[in-house]
Structure formats: C-alpha cells, structure tokens
Structure 1
Amino acid sequence: MGEKPHAIMIAFPYQGHITPFVNLALKFASKGFTITFVHTHYIHHTISSSNDHTKTSLQGTDFFAQARESGLDIRYTTISDGFPLEFDRALHIKEFWDAMLSDFPGRVDEFIGDMLKQPGYDGVSFLIADTFYSWPATIAFKYNLISVSFWTQPAAVFSVNYHLDLLIENGHFPLKDNINEEIIYIPGVGSINTRDLMPYLKEDEPAKFVQKVIFQAFNEVKKADFILFNTIQELETQTLSALNQKQPTYSVGPVNFFKDLTKNSVSKSLRSESDCTKWLESKPPGSVLYVSFGSHVKSSEQMIQEIAHGLVLSEANFIWVVRTDIADFLPDGFHDDVNGKGLMVPWCDQVTVLSDPAVGGFLTHCGWNSVMESIWCGVRMICYPLYTDQTMNRKLVVDDWKIGIDLCDGMATLMVDRIKVSEKIKMLLNDESDTSRGLKKEVERVNLVLRNALEKDGSSEKNFDQVVQDLKARLLAKN
C-alpha cells in the first residue's frame, strides 16, 4: 500500500472528550497516518477565544500548525453544529441535543460527502469518531470507510451501556429510586451495586434526552469495525476481554500521556487557564488540596456552600476551580475566612497543578480524565461524583483500586455536610493516618501500572501498534 492511511476524526463537543481525542489524533499521526481533524465551528471559536489566539475566525486559527511543523500530517477544518455562535448550548441543552440527534448526522453526511470529492481526499479510508455520536458507523458504511469508535470513559461504563438489554431483562432499567441491589450479570464487570449505575439510567431522570443519546450511540457502536478505549488493560482486564468477544476492542489509554506527544502543543482548553505555580511554590510539600468538579455539570448552591465551609474548617491549603457559573454560590465573607490559605481560579491546567509537589490530595467529581490525571500524578482522591460516568468511576477509585475515599458516606443522597468535608480533608492530607498511608501506597501501585502501560513494551503501546497493524490489514483486505 503506497499511500499513507488517511482518517477523518470528528471530536465530541465537550472538554472531557476533546482533550483525549486531540491526543489520539496526534498519536495516529505519529504512526504514519494522515489525519483530517474536525471541530464544530463553536468549539473552534471557544478554544480560540479562551487561548488568546490573535485570529478567531472559523478557519483563521489552525490548532495543529505546530504539530505539522514537527512532521505530523494533520489537516484541520470545522463543521457547523447548526446553531449560531452566540447560542447558549449549555442553557438550552435539550434543544441543542435534540438537534444534534436529528439534524447533525445529515450535516456530517453532507460534509464528508463533499470532502471526499476534494483533491487529496479521495484516499480517505477511516472515520474515527466519539462513541457518543449516533451516526459514525452508518455514515462510514455509506462512504465505504472503516468505522473506528473511540470511548473516552472506562470500559466498565461502556459495558453497562452496551448491555442495556440485560438491565431491562432484570428490571434494572429504568432504575427505580432507592433500590439497592447487586448486579452480577454484566459480562466481565463483576458485582456492582445499583447505586453505582450511571444516573441517566434512573426512572426519574430529568434529562430524558441523555437516555436518547446513549440509546442511539450504543445501537450505533455495535456496527463499528474497531473500538478504542481510553483505559488500561491491566486495570479492566476482564471487562475488556468480555467486550473483545463481541467486537475488536483495544485499550490504549491513558491517551493524554502518550510519551511521544509532549513536543506538540495543541490548544484544547475551552476556558482560559490561570497559572497557579507561584502560589503553589509558597506552600509545603503535600499540604494543598486541589478541588475541581469539572467543566460542565452544574453544582447546587448547598453543595458549594458546604464545601466552602468545610474547606475553612479543615484549615488546609487549597486551590479551588470555581467556574463563573458557581462563583455566586460562595458564602458571604468566604474570601476573608480563607485568609491566604486558598486560591480560587476560574480554570487551570489540571495536570500542572496535580503534578506540583505541594499538592497532596484531589477533591474531584470523578470525571475519567480527572481520575487518570490524578493517578498519573500520584495524588489521592476524595470522591464526589455528580453525573454521567462518575458514579461508576467512583466505584473503581474507592472500592476496587482503593486510591480514594468518599466525600459522602451516604452516596444515595449526595447531601454534603461541612463537618464531614472537613474531616475527610484532614484524613486525606494527614500522612500519619492509616487511611492516608494506605491510599498513598495504593495510588503509587496504580500509578506504576499506568506508567508501565505507556512504555515501549507496555500494554497500551503494544495495543496501539496492534490497532495500526489491524487497521492497515483491514484496508488492504477491503482494497
């Protein structure tokens, strides 16, 4: 095969998906693929504005220019999601996702059809898309492309969604409130409690459109040719093995830490990032609690206030990512009560903060990127899951890997109490406590698993080489 394999990659429009997707594109390009990377117009504009690019027109900023200068063959373009830039997608999320399910597939279909007619694109052979999209395999089949699905969360969450039929058969979907039962019938997942299932599976799920997104996505992914997972084989061995009996699956994570990508700086953040380095330099090693609840899910006023009071009561040093949409929830006089012990920022480079020697713990919503980054930096966690995959991620962190503790002992209610918050923070940061020492030992163990997976002879690196080999073999067979 003379020509390089060429893949179109279309990112899912949320921060937790964009970061790993960009890194996956860089990895494929480093293995000799030509990549055409696609953001929506809105995501392009938001990243451009947040990173102070001098040009913020739809095609004025090429995020992959530096990667091309280093020799990677990555092209970049954008597609409309059907809404004007000024439309508030978070405020009108149901309207946005109704359109993304009904109208966006047609836009992608037309977009890819037009692209394949352009000079230099007749050799496109692969479509690599986020599993959450409802159209990739169908559109790939229409244009005779090989369909590659990329799942940015743990394999356990994928498997639960993949086996919704079993949940229905066993009366666990839709999930009724206050039910507390063990589930032992999901292939490769082992025993999980109903409380750990994703909140969007509940009977009273307020955002019913999320169920629709999941249903359509997992009907579609069963038609994919290959599925890539942003996880580690050694941590989810049985789950991945069970899934591989259904479709070709490959664990290649954590993709945010691929070793050969550090020289390629690609703008990925949807928010401007504050530099916390000088503040951290003034604090003793292991004394700082980093607090962040991610980029998207809304928090309640009660939660924010109790966590704020708990931070003050703990007397710990902390950095808290207080997004602009929750800043008004802070208690009156909070900044005075902090008295120099806390730094509030609207956003920051999370890995830079977590890797600082001053940071000794992470109070987290358990987003999968956050979990992987915390382990990578060897930081113990206090877990407060809010939505989507986060309840299952909490189970992995606390129950299975034992590298974190729960913020709330009663996970069913998720009501936060300032006294408990203070106690949990003190417990985590006190290196003399048995709990803290145990967590530290286990996080060092899991950290080693992650780092070994990305070594030259590690599982994720070898799996990625296998993906490349199998994709090329499929392409040869097709031609």
Structure 2
Amino acid sequence: MPASRHIAVLAFPFGTHAAPLLHLIKRIAASAPEDVIFSFFGSSESNKSIFSGGKGDEEFANIEAYEVWDGVPKDHVFKGNPHFEQIGLFINATPGNFEKAMKEAEEETGVKISCLLTDAFLWFSADLAEKHGVPWIPFWTAASCALSAHLYTDDIRRLLSTNEQTVGMIPGFDGLSIKDMPKEVLMDNNQSPLALLIYNMALHLPRATVVVVNSFEEIDPAITLDLKSKLKKFLNVGPLPLMAESSKKTIDSSADHNDECLEWLKKQDDSSVVYISFGSVITPPPHEMVALAEALESWKGPFLWSLRDHARKNLPDGFIDRTTGNGKFVSWAPQKEVLQSGKVGVFVTHCGWNSILESISYGVPLICRPFFGDQVLNSAMVEDKWKIGLRVKDGVFTKDGTVSAIEVILSSEKGKQIRENVQVLKGKAIDAVQVPNGSSVRNFQDLLELVAMS
C-alpha cells in the first residue's frame, strides 16, 4: 500500500534522549495503519547507537533514519567539556539542519510530512509545524515532575530573591526545596545554551497539539492534573519498559545480552545483590569511586557493577582481586534483565529517569547519587515523595554513608517499608500499561489516533 501519511520524528541526539523516542515510535509504528511511514532524524553518531548501521530499523520497514548535521565544523578542536560544547554547537545548527533533512526525506519518499513528533527540547518544532500546517507532538523523555519544574521556571526564579526555601506553590511539590530543582531552572539563561533551550521549550509547549510523557498518571496525580490544565493535551504513555509487545510486531531492540553477567546473577540469593550503574555518560569523580569501592568491600555482600574499562583505574589497588568472591564487574549490563531477575535488592544509580522507571517497573529500591539535570529533583522525589529509596548522605559517596544506605534498604524496618512502597508503585505502573482500560493504554490509543489520522 502506498504511503499517504508521513511522520517526521526529530530527536535530540544526546544522552538517553533518542532511544526512548525511538522506542515510542516503534510502539506507534507497530500499531499504525500500513500507509503511515516514519522518518527519524538524528545525528550520525546518535543514529548509529540506536539503529543497526544507522540507516533504519531492521524490523520496521516503515521507519527510516536520516542524518542531520551535528553542528561541529570540520577540524574543530573542542575546549572545556566536549559533551556540553557539542550540545551548544548542535543547538546553533538548528533548525536549519532538520529542515534540510526533512526536505530530503519528502523528496525521497514522495510524501509530504503530515505530523512532527519530536523531542520536547526542540521547541522550534512549534514554528516548523506551523509552517508545514501540521500537528506538533513533543515527547518529554524525563519525569512529569521535571517538566512541571521547567514550566514554573519564572516562579521559582522569583523565589530565589526571597527567603523562601521551598516550592510548595507548585502542585505536587510541597516540602521540596528550591535546591532540589534542576540546575537549568535556577541559572540565568545566558549561562548555558541548554538552559536557554529548555526555557524556550517551556514557553512554547502550550502551543503543542499534545505533550507526551514517558510516565504514568498514578505516580504523580497532582502534577498530572496541573499539567493537564496548562497544556492543550497531556498524555502519560509509560512506563515504556513495561509497554506490552504488540501482536503485530516486536518492539524489543535489546537483542544483545551479557550472558556471563546474567548467569552470575542466577547463582545469587533473591533480592541480595547491590547493582551499580551510572548510565552511559556519567562516571563519579575518583575520590567517590574509591569511597564506593571501600563501602562495597566493607559490606561484603554480593554486588554487580557496570563500569566502563577506562574508569577502573580509579578503583583502589587490588580491589577487584579482593572482591572476586562476591563482586562482578562488567563493562555493560543488560539493565532491564538485571533488574527483572529478582536478584537485585537495591540499585545504586545517578537517578536518570530511564533508570528510575526501570527500577519501578521491576520493583527494585534505589540509592541515589544525582549529578546534573533533572537527577537531583528525581532523587528528591524518590526519597521524599514516592519513598522508594534514599539519597546518599550530603549528595556524595562516602564509605560510611554508602554502607549505611545499603544496610537501611536491605536490613532495616525502614528498608522494608521502602521495598513495600516500590512494589505498590510497580503494581500501579503495570496496571497503567497492561490492564485493558489502564490510564497509559487509553492515553496511547489517543496518541495513536492523533498520529495515524494526521
């Protein structure tokens, strides 16, 4: 059947933004009519990390990947932090790089773009959608609490000039500190291209046809209700890790498994393992790596540490050899399968939203050491609102503070309550995505109709 509808998918090609967007697109593509095609726009490096060969999806003939210029001039020499400099250069290249690639996709497919489904960061998509006369559907890849914080940026900044220490005027935030807010909310826009990008996003999101979030309504009812009042339409369609596979096509892209890692887990007692992972971008500073290692060695229980090879030089001398009896080191772990195994008693994490969602989805408590972005707010919600984990004392790893957090989660009455709380939240997440009339099931159907009928 010839294609008649063409969905342009614009990714923010940094961190863990592009992968959840692709997961959502696969979910939509699996259920959409056969005459709907999807063009996925990301940088060359990002596309290669999420697509086989960077050209498209092997299982979905209706999803094609296109490269957009990353904004880095030829022979450019990075100064300072390359990651944040790359983001700044990419932002400067938008929206022209996307417009050029979108035109190529229209020419190649012979079908005009009928809808823009984009990372929410790409606020200029509001103008592109208006220019093309099509709907704009931004996807917020983080938690709804973080989205709310950004929408209230001006209010929070006004509080900074007062003696007020909390942000209780925001629905669902009562008791949270101003210091818990994302750094970009608290800083002047001129200090960071990313801060300005997110601020502009918050200004333009009310123009969107619908704003989509990788979460579920039941985790933050007050925040969900408030966001629905501020946006034309607001849909929670997650947690994506729990979204049931379509009978039409599979959407599981995690074909690679670390069998050695999973075999090691099988030999451990249920809910006994401390799993440590800080995502694909973050490595704690050397002194915190030492403190965390010393804590694990002192605790003496089983642990699985996903640690890239280059970071192992920061571990204490002889640590790996001394802990071979109870520790397992891997350069990459299949996180979903690890958390799903039933062997993990606590997850030590940077508190990225994808990791939190996976932990909730499989009922694993958290120990949080946030670093940047929404991670500080996420960790505050984990400990103070959802009560499914703990923040490390004073926000940094120390030997005693880390041992204490592990023992509280695994061996105390407080830990028992935390473990029960995460099981309750897991149940609500499962109901949202797997019960026929679950909130995320209904919301996804609304989204599918908007995309498929555009």
TM-score (norm 2): 0.89
Would you identify which runs of 4 or more consecutive aligned residues in structure 1 move more than 6 Å? Answer: 84-90, 204-207
Q: Identify the residue that residue 20 of structure 2 maps to in structure 1.
A: 20
Residue of structure 2 in register with 1:116 after alignment: 106
Question: What SS does structure 2 have at the residue aligned with 1:366?
Answer: coil
Which residue of the partner structure matches residue 138 of structure 2?
149
For residues 175-216 of structure 1, give each alpha carbon's deviation from its aligned partner in whole angstroms, at most 9, with x where no partner exists.
Answer: xxxx88111222554442112111334459997333223223
Q: Which residue of 1 aligns with 2:29?
A: 29
Q: Aligned residue for 1:287?
A: 272
Deviation of 1:224 after TM superposition, in Å, equals 1.9
Contact 1:67 1:265 in 2 (8 A): no
The verdict on how the C-alpha distance between 1:309 and 1:88 changes in structure 2, with shifts beyond 3 A counting, is farther
Q: C-alpha deviations, 1:318-355, integer Å up to 9, x for none?
A: 01111245322111111122132111112111011111
C-alpha RMSD of matched pairs (Å): 2.9
- 8 Å contact from structure 1 (residues 23, 256) kept in 2: no
Q: Are 1:439 and 2:418 counterparts?
A: yes
Structure 2 residues without counterparts, runs of 5 or longer: none
* Residues 40, 79 of structure 1: 8 Å contact kept: yes
In the alignment, is the contact (CA less than 8 A) between 2:409 and 2:419 conserved in 1? Answer: no
Matched, 1:462 2:442: yes
Q: What per-residue deviation string (whole Å, max 9, x for no partner) do you get for residues 231-250 of structure 1?
A: 11111222122122222111
1:301 to 1:273, Cα distance in 2 relative to 1, 3 A: same
Q: CA deviation at 1:101?
A: 1.6
Displacement of 1:150? 0.2
Residue in structure 1 matched with residue 46 of structure 2 by the alignment: 43
Which residue of 1 is the match for residue 125 of structure 2?
136
Count residues with an aligned counterpart.
446
Partners of 1:349 and 1:77 in 2: CA distance:
27
Instruction: Give the Cα separation in 2 of the matches to 1:406 and 1:205.
Output: 28
- 1:105 maps to which of 95, 100, 106: 95
Task: Tell me if structure 1 keeps the 8 A contact 2:156–2:185.
Answer: no
AA matched with 1:19: A
For the residues of structure 1 that align with 2:94 and 2:312, how far apart are their CA atoms? 33
**Gap runs ≥5 in structure 1:** 174-178
SS in structure 2 of the partner of residue 326 of structure 1: helix
Matches within 5 A, 1:181-260: 181-187=165-171, 189-203=173-187, 208-247=192-231, 248-260=233-245
C-alpha spacing 1:384/1:103, structure 2 compared with 1 (3 Å): same
Say whether 1:80 aligns with 2:99: no
SS at match of 1:192: coil
- Cα distance in 2, alignment partners of residues 204 and 304 from structure 1: 32
Which range moved further: 220-229 or 3-12? 3-12
Check conservation: 2:156, 2:186, Cα contact below 8 A: no
The residue number in structure 2 matching 1:176 is none
Higher helix share: 2
Match of 2:40, SS state, is strand
* Separation in structure 2 between the aligned mates of residue 415 and residue 180 of structure 1, nearest angstrom: 25
* Structure 1: distance between partners of 2:254 and 2:18: 7
Assess if the C-alpha contact under 8 Å between 2:4 and 2:111 holds in 1.
no
Whether 1:427 and 2:412 are equivalent positions in the alignment is no
Whether the 8 Å contact between 1:297 and 1:387 is mirrored in structure 2 is: no
Q: Report the Cα distance in structure 1 between the residues aligned to 2:292 and 2:144, rounded to whole angstroms.
A: 31
Distance 1:24 1:152 in 2: 10
Which has the higher mean CA deviation after the structures are superposed, 220-229 or 445-454? Answer: 220-229
Q: Which deviates more, 104-113 or 312-321?
A: 104-113
Q: CA deviation at 1:300?
A: 1.0
Show the counterpart of 1:264: 250
